[in-house]
Amino acid sequence: MYDDFISFADLTRGEIEELLSLADDLKKRRKNGELYQPLRGKTIGMLFEKPSLRTRVTFETGIYQLGGHAVFMEMRLGERETVPDIARNLERWVDGIVARTHSHDSVLELAAHGAAPVINALTDLLHPCQILADAMTLREKRGSLEGLHVAFVGDGNNVFASWAELAACVPIKLTLVCPKGYELKGPVHERAKELAGDRYGVTQDLESGVRGADVVYTDVWTSMGQEAENTKRQKAFRPYQVNRRVMELAGRDALFMHCLPAHRGEEVTDDVIESEQSIVFDEAENRLHAQKSVLVWALT
């Protein structure tokens, strides 16, 4: 299939499960030292408007392992030429585009104006590659996603929005625990409310929000592009730090997750991120396998 990977809302539950199984399979092949190169002869353009460690390295490494070639471009879309013109150039040369942009519309425009499949590597609205890797990690740790309660403590941001899209499709319970004014709003929220029903909730009450959760997840309080709001955000989110007390409310078996990079001492304390309950580097590892799955799915 040749397809875009922009949002979980474009996929069925079956397709998400297919991607997760393929990711497991690709991880096994890699661990067994098997050479598997379905992208041989293919070139993937990587357009990044924002910094990245995990996403850039895992895509470039994954493309190489699958036999393809990655061309990395750091640029502000629309500055030197329009997004449609970029798409109409790239489609003549490359077989796929991985894009990390500020505006979500830029990724949609790249997909609409060019024939090359577009993979969303984070926008201001969504981060589906991250949540695919997180779902893979939870399946490894807990066997299945079904019925798991994920308490997302922090900003109703792009990472949370992709969790909300997953919850609209896969039967997990998702609670956003955040200060007033930082809830997810707009169509992604409305759709999750409609499709996930009472499996999806928002609360300002930290204690009831995390009590008994299977997973406590957090992310930075100030996302890339929001730096001007940092002082205000630090103040608003301070009571929502994930520390030992929060993990105790969730329970001894609860897992701690974070997409990284972490601002230790802000959204999470050192003792939590370094604890036995923390699986943050397993999540980071699985970015590689999950994105290889997306590449194979979208490009072969």
Which residues form the interface with ligand NVA (CB under 6 A)?
Answer: 157-159, 219-220, 223-224, 259
Spatial separation of the C-alpha atoms in residues 63 and 296, rounded to whole Å: 9
Spatial separation of the C-alpha atoms in residues 148 and 111, rounded to whole Å: 33
Question: If we measure between CA atoms, which residue out of 68, 85, 125 comes closest to residue 102?
Answer: 125
Q: At 224, list the tokens.
A: 């890339």
Q: How far is the CB of 154 from ligand NVA (least distance, A)?
A: 9
- Return the one option of ligand CP, ligand NVA, none that residue 53 interacts with (CB less than 5 to 8 A, by type): ligand CP
CB 83 within 8 A of CB 91: no
Tokens 């036995």 correspond to what residue?
A: 276
Q: How far is the CB of 177 from ligand CP (least distance, A)?
A: 20
Q: Which regions of the chain does DSSP assign to beta strands (E)?
A: 43-48, 69-74, 96-100, 118-120, 149-153, 173-177, 200-203, 215-218, 255-258
Let me know if 289 is a catalytic residue. Answer: no
Q: How far is the CB of 43 from ligand NVA (least distance, A)?
A: 25
Q: At 213, list the tokens.
A: 């959760």
Spatial separation of the C-alpha atoms in residues 112 and 206, rounded to whole Å: 41
By beta-carbon proximity to ligand CP, the closer residue of 249 and 272 is 272
The catalytically annotated residue of 54, 56, 127, 149 is: 127
By beta-carbon proximity to ligand CP, the closer residue of 126 and 299 is 126
Give percent helix, percent strand, percent coil of the chain, each to the nearest 5: 45, 15, 40
Spatial separation of the C-alpha atoms in residues 129 and 144, rounded to whole Å: 19
The catalytically annotated residue of 54, 100, 189, 258 is: 100
Spatial separation of the C-alpha atoms in residues 130 and 280, rounded to whole Å: 12
By beta-carbon proximity to ligand CP, the closer residue of 127 and 233 is 127
Q: Per-residue x/- marks for ligand CP, 39-78, CB under 6 A? A: -------------xxxx-----------------------
CB 163 within 8 A of CB 8: no
CB 157 within 8 A of CB 179: no
By beta-carbon proximity to ligand NVA, the closer residue of 53 and 115 is 53
Which of positions 229-268 make contact with ligand CP (CB under 6 A)?
259-261
- Return the one option of ligand NVA, ligand CP, none that residue 157 interacts with (CB less than 5 to 8 A, by type): ligand NVA
Let me know if 37 is a catalytic residue. Answer: no
* Residue nearest to ligand NVA according to CB distances in the complex: 223
Q: Identity (one letter) of the amino acid at 184? A: L
The phi, psi pair for 4, rounded to 5°, reads -85, 155
Spatial separation of the C-alpha atoms in residues 217 and 254, rounded to whole Å: 10
- Return the one option of ligand CP, ligand NVA, none that residue 60 interacts with (CB less than 5 to 8 A, by type): none
Let me know if 219 is a catalytic residue. Answer: yes
The catalytically annotated residue of 259, 277, 289, 291 is: 259
By beta-carbon proximity to ligand NVA, the closer residue of 158 and 286 is 158
The catalytically annotated residue of 95, 134, 219, 258 is: 219
Q: How far is the CB of 48 from ligand CP (least distance, A)?
A: 9
By beta-carbon proximity to ligand NVA, the closer residue of 102 and 113 is 102
The catalytically annotated residue of 130, 241, 277, 291 is: 130
Q: Which residues contact 79 (CB under 8 A, 6 or more apart)?
A: none
Total residues binding ligand CP (CB under 6 A): 9
Let me know if 178 is a catalytic residue. Answer: no
Interacting residues toward ligand CP by CB under 6 A: 52-55, 122, 130, 259-261
Catalytic residue list: 100, 127, 130, 219, 259, 287
